[in-house]
Each structure stands twice: as structure tokens, then as C-alpha cells.
Amino acid sequence: MSDRPTSADFLTAFATGWPEQEPHLMVLSLTTHKGVQDFAMTKEQALLIAKTIKQTAAQLVPPKPGTPRRG
């Protein structure tokens, strides 16, 4: 983990819902300029990810007025 780059790819993400054949899984699709990658997770994992994203987003500093939005 310490060898991670200091920059990040911007991405688009969406949950494709709970698949009909696998109702115990949720699929999350992430899209960057490098392509699309799908991740399957349990309900507990999905809720933990959502909680972490919500906590982190609450700590983000609002952009300065006039700053263009990325993404």
C-alpha cells in the first residue's frame, strides 16, 4: 500500500443493483479513462463502503468559487 501513486484517476461509478440470479450480491461498476471494471460485494460490504464514502465526503473541503468541476 505504501507504493501507491500520489494522483488518482477520476471515475464514474454506479451500482447495478442486486442481480436476479445472485440476490445476496451487489455489483458496482467503476469507469475510468482506462476502462470499466465491475466489483461484486455482499450487502455488508456495500453498506460499509457507503458509510465510509459518506464520512469521507462530509470531510471534503468545498471547492473555491469559480473552480471548474472535474469528473
For residue 71, what pLDDT band results from cuts at 50, 70 and 90? low
Instruction: Write out pLDDT tens, residues 28-57.
Output: 888 888 888 888 899 899 899 989 999 999
In a domain, 35, yes or no: yes
**pTM for the full model?**
0.62
Rg (CA), the chain: 15
- 25: nearest Cα among 38, 12, 10: 38
Structural domains counted in the chain: 1
Looking at the domain assignment, is residue 48 inside a domain? yes
Assess whether pLDDT exceeds 60 at residue 1: no
| Single-letter code of the amino acid located at 16 | T
> Is residue 23, in this structure, part of any structural domain at all?
no
Does residue 11 belong to any structural domain of this protein?
no
Domain contains 41: yes
The predicted-structure confidence for 5-24, as pLDDT tens digits, reads as follows: 777 777 787 777 667 788 88
Range of the domain at 47: 28-58
